[in-house]
Structure 1
Amino acid sequence: MLSYLLRRLTLVLPVAFGVSVICFLLVQIAPGDPLTSIMPVDASAEQQAEMRAAYGLDKPLPVQYAMWMGKLLQGDMGQSIATGRPVAGEVFGAVQNSLLLALAAAAIAFPVGIFLGFLAGYFRDTILDRGVTALAITGVSLPNYWLGIVLVIVFSVTLGWLPSMGAGPGGSSEWAWDWLHLRHLVLPAVTLSVVPIGLVSRTVRALAGDILSQDFVQALYAKGMSRGDVLRHVARNAAATALSVMGLQLGYLLGGSILIETVFNWPGSGFLLSNAIFQRDLPLLQGTILVLALFFVTMNLIVDVAQAAIDPRIKRS
């Protein structure tokens, strides 16, 4: 197992390097001047040159990348052009809020998706299977930002049961583990969970249906094994592939929630990324994209190791 982990780590390092290069270049070649939002309209050429030199934007791209990587290795992501605050503090604070939202959505989506998928796979080609399939397709097809708006109209505006904005009372971005703050988490978490419920349930349904039709399942029944024991064997055989799908979905939940965070004004990485794009804040944009991309790479590594622990055949392949 240790040798497998070391092999995976040797593959992760060049991937992380490539991610940093792509992140830097894509942001740099985007149109627009990042200093436009903070420089006065009547700024002289000398003032513009001084500002560019202060942020290192007057140097060639390879030099800018080397300077950026040198600071990153020291834990310094630079300063936000729009606010002047350290990028690391803003990014990690926002990522914590996004991770909280992603884990809450995953806590809803994964158990529900697994249960519905096994139910549909076990009762394959029945009305129950068709009903679960219809729900899954509907969930995947609905635009989640539209669903979020509908939930706000119903549960916040019409019924007044749940708040619609911010992570705390009064639209606050501060988080605490109490009911007043948890109420703000309900609507965005439910909205964000709908798509992964559909994807996980469809994946588990296909896996369970395929495994249940194999010969070894009939052999287990022939040995007198109970239905519950047989289903445990089926779950173990399906676990590796299902875990891969859920790991990828957790990465998407963290990095792909920009529209949901905008709808609910949730102070996460998606909301921060949206503001950085509109303000053309290069250091903040680069730092946010890099942290999200590295989280995705790390999540893939964790899933690979977990799959190998569940299914020893993966280590030998």
Structure 2
Amino acid sequence: MLEYLIKRLVYTVPIFLGVSVVCFALVHIAPGDPLISILPADASVELQEMLLTLYGFDRSYPEQFLMWLWRALQGDLGTSIATGRPVAAEVFRAVGNTLMLAAVATLIGFLFGCLFGFVAGYFSNSWVDRAASALAVLGVSVPHYWLGMVLVIVFSAQLGWLPATGAGPGGSASWRWDFEHVQFLILPAITMSVIPMGIVARTVRALVADLLAQDFIVGLRARGLSELGIFLHVVKNAAPTALAVMGLQLGYLLGGSILIETVFSWPGTGLLLNSAIFQRDLPLLQGTILVLALFFVFLNLAVDVLQTALDPRIKRA
């Protein structure tokens, strides 16, 4: 197990380098002047040159990349052009909010997705299966930003049950686990959970239907094993794949929450990326993308290790 873990950690090194190169290149390929958001219209040439030197934009791209990568390895992601605050502080505060939202949404999606998937798999080709599968397809197909706006209209504007935007009373970005703050989490979490719920449900349904048709299930029934025992065997065999899908969905939600966080004004990485894109804030954009990419890489590593612990066949392979 330790050897496998070391191997996987070594594999992440070239992935990290590749992610950093792509992150740096994509941000610099985009058109526009990164200093336009902070320079006044009548800025002098001397001021422009001073800021270019300050942020290192007067150097060649390879030099900029090596300087940025060296500082990033030391935990310094630079300074935001728009706000003048350290990028690392802004990114990690936003990552905490996004991670909390994505974790709650993934948990909701995983629980209900497994429920629908197991029910559909056990009652394969029945009306229950068709209803659960239809819900799963609907969850994958509905645009989540549109669903978010519908939920805001219904539960905030019309019924007044839940707040529409923000992460706390009075627009506060600080978080506490009490009802006043949790109610701000409900609508965005439900909106984000719809897609992973549909994907997990379809995956689990296919796994359960396939497992129930296997010869070893027939043998277990012939030996008189109870339905609860058979269910536990099915869960044990389906768990590694379901966990892998859940881990991937959590990673996708961390990086793909920009539309939902913009709709609900949730102070996470999605909203941070949105403002960085429109303000052309290159250090903030690079730092946010890099941190999210690394989260995704290490999340996949954690899922691989967990799969190996649950499934002996992966160890033998």
The two structures have a TM-score, normalised by structure 1, of: 0.99
After superposition, give the CA deviation of every residue in 1:147-195 in whole Å (9 maximum; x if it has no partner).
0000001100101000011000122211111110001000000111011
Where does the alignment leave 5 or more consecutive residues of structure 2 unmatched? Answer: none
Cα distance in 1, alignment partners of residues 307 and 297 from structure 2: 15
Cα distance in 2, alignment partners of residues 84 and 236 from structure 1: 51
Amino acid at match of 2:202: R
Cα distance in 2, alignment partners of residues 134 and 106 from structure 1: 20
SS in 2 for 1:79: coil
Cα distance in 2, alignment partners of residues 216 and 29 from structure 1: 56
Cα distance in 2, alignment partners of residues 164 and 171 from structure 1: 11
Please list every run of at least 4 consecutive aligned residues from structure 1 whose deviation after the TM superposition is greater than 3 angstroms.
none
Give identity over the alignment, percent.
63
The yes-or-no answer on 1:231 pairing with 2:234 is: no
SS in 1 for 2:85: coil
Counting only pairs closer than 5 Å after superposition, residues 1-317 of structure 1 correspond to structure 2 as 1-317=1-317
Bigger drift between 65-74 and 118-127 goes to 65-74
After superposition, give the CA deviation of every residue in 1:214-257 in whole Å (9 maximum; x if it has no partner).
10100011111111111111111111111111100011111111
Cα distance in 2, alignment partners of residues 26 and 187 from structure 1: 33
Cα distance in 2, alignment partners of residues 6 and 45 from structure 1: 52
Cα distance in 2, alignment partners of residues 17 and 314 from structure 1: 27
After superposition, give the CA deviation of every residue in 1:19-51 in whole Å (9 maximum; x if it has no partner).
111111111111111001111111222221111
Cα distance in 2, alignment partners of residues 199 and 53 from structure 1: 48
Cα distance in 2, alignment partners of residues 194 and 224 from structure 1: 39
Cα distance in 2, alignment partners of residues 130 and 170 from structure 1: 45
Number of paired residues? 317
Amino acid at match of 1:84: G
SS in 2 for 1:277: helix
Deviation at 1:302, TM superposition (A): 0.5
Deviation at 1:315, TM superposition (A): 2.1
After superposition, give the CA deviation of every residue in 1:118-152 in whole Å (9 maximum; x if it has no partner).
00000000000000011111111100001000000
Cα distance in 2, alignment partners of residues 6 and 73 from structure 1: 20
Cα distance in 1, alignment partners of residues 127 and 145 from structure 2: 30
After superposition, give the CA deviation of every residue in 1:248-301 in whole Å (9 maximum; x if it has no partner).
001111111110000000000000001000000000000000000000000100
After superposition, give the CA deviation of every residue in 1:50-93 in whole Å (9 maximum; x if it has no partner).
11000000000111111111111221111000000000000000
Cα distance in 1, alignment partners of residues 243 and 28 from structure 2: 36
Cα distance in 1, alignment partners of residues 137 and 296 from structure 2: 25
Amino acid at match of 1:248: L
Deviation at 1:316, TM superposition (A): 2.4
Cα distance in 1, alignment partners of residues 74 and 5 from structure 2: 26
Amino acid at match of 2:190: V
Cα distance in 2, alignment partners of residues 121 and 16 from structure 1: 39
Amino acid at match of 1:46: E
The two structures have a TM-score, normalised by structure 2, of: 0.99
Cα distance in 2, alignment partners of residues 95 and 270 from structure 1: 9
Cα distance in 1, alignment partners of residues 241 and 151 from structure 2: 32
SS in 1 for 2:289: helix
Cα RMSD (Å) = 0.8
Cα distance in 2, alignment partners of residues 16 and 232 from structure 1: 39
Where does the alignment leave 5 or more consecutive residues of structure 1 unmatched? Answer: none
